[in-house]
Homo-oligomer: A and B are copies of this chain.
Amino acid sequence: MDTKQKILSTASKLFYEQGYNSTGINQVIKEAAVAKASFYQHFPSKEDLLLAYLVTTQENTDKEMRAQIAKCKTPREQVLALFDFLSKLARQTSFKGCNFLNIAAELPNDQGKVRSIIRKQKNGIRNLFAEILKPAGKEDLADEIYLLFDAALVSGKVYADVWPVKTARKIVEKLI
């Protein structure tokens, strides 16, 4: 792993596990075992690191979700596969909810680049559901299913339990 990736992967883990505001740059430098100067060379500010974290997480999440879909045939199966994927995540003890919504809650007044990446990620999920549902002529359900997806992420975290995902899946089954 090169230095930049090492920093990013350490920061991603810390931002998700302990929160963005609770993570200092010095902790990232220490745990990534990189030199301070090379850290600042790659990420001049903590916000640069945050933006890189959000962009790569968005790309990885998109890839993972598309891999889940690829296994299924019908739109209905594909949508439900994404909720099953969420069930698996919610069962992990390391599950802390949605990377993007957590940052949104930590930076309530941000209206700049950060908020715009978060919206882009959420729009990506809405579009993914629309794409899946289009062949069934049900793309108008995309936003409703997106909402349930986010709801499952958020409540699954508050309860540290899988029941919110199951409940969201139950509604989805009724809708499609």
How many angstroms from the CA of A83 to the CA of B101 in the assembled complex? 21
Whether A105 is near chain B, meaning CB under 8 Å from some CB there, is yes
Closest B residue, CB atoms, query A105: B105
Chain A contact residues (Cβ within 8 angstroms of B): what range?
Answer: 35 or more
Closest B residue, CB atoms, query A21: B21
Contact present for A107 and B19 (CB under 8 Å):
yes
Number of identical monomers bound together in the oligomeric complex: 2
Contact partners of A168 in chain B: CB under 8 A: 147
Whether A18 is near chain B, meaning CB under 8 Å from some CB there, is yes
Contact present for B106 and A97 (CB under 8 Å):
no
Choose one: B108, B144, B151, B174; the contact of A102 (CB below 8 Å): B108
A31 to chain B, nearest CB (A): 16
Closest B residue, CB atoms, query A157: B104
Contact partners of A104 in chain B: CB under 8 A: 97, 105, 157-158
Contact present for A151 and B159 (CB under 8 Å):
no
| Per-position binary interface string of chain A over residues 150-164, scored 1 when its CB falls under 8 Å from any chain B CB and 0 otherwise | 111011011100011
Whether A139 is near chain B, meaning CB under 8 Å from some CB there, is no
A residues with CB within 8 A of B: 16-19, 21-22, 96-97, 100-102, 104-109, 115, 118-119, 122, 143-144, 146-148, 150-152, 154-155, 157-159, 163-164, 167-168, 170-171, 174-175
